[in-house]
Amino acid sequence: MRSDAVIIGAGVIGAQTALQLLDRGLTVTLVDPGPPGGEQAASYGNAAWLSSHSVIPPSSPGVWRQVPRWLRDPLGPLAVRPSYLPRALPWLWRYLRSASTPAKVEAIARALRTLLVDAPALHAEVAAKAGLAHLIDAKSGLMHVYTDRAGFEAEALGWRIRRDLGIVFEEIESEALAERQPDLSREYRFGVFVPEAGHCRNPGAYVAGLVAHAESRGARRIAARALDFRHSGGRLGAVVTTQGEIDCGTAIIAAGVRSGPLAAKAGDRVPLDSERGYHAIAEGDGPGPTTPIMVGDRKVVITRLEQGVRCAGQVEIGGIEALPDWRRAEILKSHLVAMFPGIDTSRIRFWMGHRPSTPDGIPCIGAASGVAGVVHAFGHGHIGLVSSARTGRLAAQLATGEAPEIDLTPFSAQRFS
């Protein structure tokens, strides 16, 4: 079996990359053991935001003071499974150090902004070509809500950095917020609206549709797991899978949380781990946000989707093998009820998935150091959906020898060496 390019992973990153490579005339094979857009995929269950302003890393200066309290609370916004803690400690230490000063936060934000700028428009363009325009709202804007101005001011560093990067936002207070979000609990009396952002109305269907469009254009999809690379003289010759070898000149690692071992085989050891995320979705119509919202004090995002109103967020560190702790999803259900009194939870569904996260919140995008022809495109953590359109462009540019449209130095996997 032969292909110009093999993409390891048929999630949103892999799908976007496939379309870009097809545009360049390459033959493409997607390798993934699961169905595109299925419930096993991280993109299926995310918060559905196309948040081009999501440039602030998950960690922040002083967050270490809160970690002991979070670790004592198994249902807090950041939980670590006790059995997994010894393995997680090196990752957590890097996580705390990565954004320990305002200067470090600013450097990460500058890098992420180059990846995310204009993301809603990029998605709208891709969706239109794939016949999926109905799934992308590139102009909805996104809103952050707080109980009062003090909650907003507690995040002043992040909002100041956003403003410095040219991100425009509008402050909304009291009755003006109630008018914009009539179903929202009156406990929340301060909001910030970011007009440049958008959202996806059904992330699982979006990914499935992108892959189907790639297949209609000639891409081949194989239900298999990639295991290794065959290479000679430091040059890629094939991707080794559970269904045999696929000869190729280029391979893109976009396997989400399972990308780490493959990256290591290509010469780069990356501290990649799962930030296990949950969601609760109240199916059907009913009370909910008019604009998708991030709730500052609850650390959750609530979005109205085609399926219903979804509440997603929080983080559990526990690896990829442990069973879900559905108590965490029950907490998200309680957040839904508190934020939107009267919401119908008689038909509610829970989900858990794996955010593929680096400790500094910056994905790995670039050439592998040990095998020529292998390209990294993984580790997108909380920004996988929004960043996927540009990541696909970058991965295709790297695969075909074009100059990347942004500086990829901050995204190099070699930064962890």
CA-nearest of 291, 312, 288 to 300 is 312
Report residues of the chain scoring pLDDT below 70.
70-71, 74-75
The whole-number pLDDT of residue 80 equals 87
CB atoms within 10 A of CB 325: 17
For residue 293, the cross-strand partners are: 143, 302
The whole-number pLDDT of residue 75 equals 66
pTM attached to this predicted model: 0.96
Is 72 in a helix, a strand, or coil?
helix
**CB contact at 8 A, 395 and 288:** no
The whole-number pLDDT of residue 78 equals 81
The whole-number pLDDT of residue 136 equals 98
Burial class (CB within 10 angstroms; exposed 0-12, middle 13-18, buried 19+) of 218: exposed
Q: Which CATH superfamily is domain 1-54+115-138+198-271+359-417 in?
A: FAD/NAD(P)-binding domain (3.50.50.60)
DSSP string, 220-263: EEE---EEEEEEETTEEEEEEETTEEEE-SEEEE--GGGHHHHH
Burial class (CB within 10 angstroms; exposed 0-12, middle 13-18, buried 19+) of 128: exposed
Q: In what order do the strands lie in the sheet with 136-137?
A: 49-50, 198-200, 136-137
